Amino acid sequence: MSAAQSQTTLESLQCHFTWDLDRSRPKLLLLKDKMEDFSTEKGNRWLGHIYNLWGFIQYKLGLNEEANSLFQKAAETLNKLRDADEGPWLVVNYGNLAWLHHHLGDLEESQAYLSKVDALMEKYPSPSQDDLHPEICAEKAWTLMFFGEDMILVVDYYEKAARMQADMMDWNTSYVIWLKNAQNFSDPMLDPDLLEKMRQAKERDPENLYLAALYLDQRADEGENIRDEVRELAGNVSTLCCSSSGMWALLNLYIKYISVDEAVDLAEEVLKEHPDVHYLKRLVAFCYRWRIVYKRRDYPDPEQSMMDRAIALHEELLSLYPHTPLKKEIDLAIIYAMSRHSKAKAEQIFQKLLENEPAEPSDKQMLYNRYAHHLFFHQNDSHRSIQYHMKAAAIPEKSSFRENSIRILERNKQRRIMCREIEEFFGNLQEPRQ
């Protein structure tokens, strides 16, 4: 087969290399950290897909040997999870390996994997002539969760997979979970039967902490009192670290419906049982940050011991996740700003970050927006705060930070604060206000 023919065949594959997953290096490093965290979860039923995506990320970062090793581990894991030597769950994996060997110049090995894909697709055709094989739908949905902003597309792929292969509990659980997420962030009226679908999914998958937490949250949205059930869900502390997403969802229930203090206590108790689990330290730090920063009106003067603990955790996260420091440094600076003994350190961190501006527009927006809030709340400098909100809003990339800065500028304009400057700024924006 010629190189041109091979390229055409490769481009027709369903795998990570053909799913339009190009992202910047900082975003890839962030995803790499997530995959490493997920891979440490005991009993993670998506571990094969984790290794597949992790391998693709390593390839994009230029680490070809690590990518090949992870793709091989993905195949072994998928076979073990399916309790078989081979099956349609390997189509995406073999496609990844075909692409990887093509890029490495090993066309014979690449062609061998292409032949394996053809054999699997012939032996295991999709139950629906109009849809991809359910195994491909499920893995594509799982992957797009981390790369795409189109939640409805993720829901659609999970729904197709679960409909075509109803015995796969994990696919149905993921379909219902992302239906809930899409309703929260995209369309509140997406599915009027969501609560019943979640109840049925929970009956089929009773050990899924993430699903259980989201089910309680949905019931609370519909007016039920769930406080006692939230505490009951916490159950045995020693078993709670098996799912980072489930633990995150449970802590959010504590913050929303019980108290942030109990969320802190629960997170610390779980970390005490599992002191070496990195993502638990991240979740404990999240709870302290929520308590100190976002609940400051309810708790205006946190004890210094709490501040010291929060600072220590945030400093440790910088060493545990060295490839994605920007947000963690900003979070640390905000904690410093609220400490009686470390306020100067907050400004030092921000000045260092501003002197070495990040390359990514979205990262710049985040830095300018957060520094603008710091100037207003901790430096009492409304003039410079507005200037940095302008800098964040001036970057023509859609983000929550840009939207927040624009809202604040609009508010200041209405209050006649730097009204002329803000009006002139809005007139020169590259993109219209949202």
The whole-number average pLDDT for the span 80-109 is 96
pLDDT bracket for residue 297 (50, 70, 90): confident
Closest alpha carbon to 26 in 371, 402, 363: 363
CA-to-CA dists, residue 318 to 182, 191, 322, 332, 363, angstroms: 31, 41, 6, 9, 17
pTM for this structure?
0.89
When the pLDDT of each residue in the chain is averaged and rounded to a whole number, the result is 91
Q: Is the pLDDT of residue 431 over 70?
A: no
Please check whether the domain covering 1-125 is classified as CATH 1.10.390.10.
no
The whole-number average pLDDT for the span 254-272 is 95
Q: State how far the Cα of 357 lies from the Cα of 367, in Å rounded to an integer.
A: 9
130 CB-contact burial (10 Å; exposed 0-12 / middle 13-18 / buried 19+) = exposed
Q: What is the pLDDT of residues 22-33, one digit of tens each?
A: 888 888 999 999
Q: What is the pLDDT of residues 144-153, one digit of tens each?
A: 999 876 889 9
Q: What is the pLDDT of residues 113-148, one digit of tens each?
A: 999 999 999 999 999 988 999 999 999 999 999 987
The whole-number average pLDDT for the span 274-290 is 94
SS3 297: coil
Q: State how far the Cα of 53 lies from the Cα of 30, in Å rounded to an integer.
A: 13
In the chain, the N- to C-terminal Cα span, in Å, equals: 52
Q: State how far the Cα of 369 lies from the Cα of 334, in Å rounded to an integer.
A: 12
Q: What is the pLDDT of residues 175-190, one digit of tens each?
A: 999 999 888 876 666 6
Q: Which residue has the higher pLDDT, 111 or 192?
A: 111
Q: State how far the Cα of 133 lies from the Cα of 299, in Å rounded to an integer.
A: 53
Closest alpha carbon to 60 in 91, 103, 112, 98: 103
Q: State how far the Cα of 220 lies from the Cα of 233, in Å rounded to an integer.
A: 15
Tell me the two tokens of residue 402: 């840009």
Q: Which pLDDT score, from 0 to 100, does residue 3 have?
A: 44
Q: What is the pLDDT of residues 306-321, one digit of tens each?
A: 999 999 999 999 999 9
Q: Which residue has the higher pLDDT, 301 or 427?
A: 427
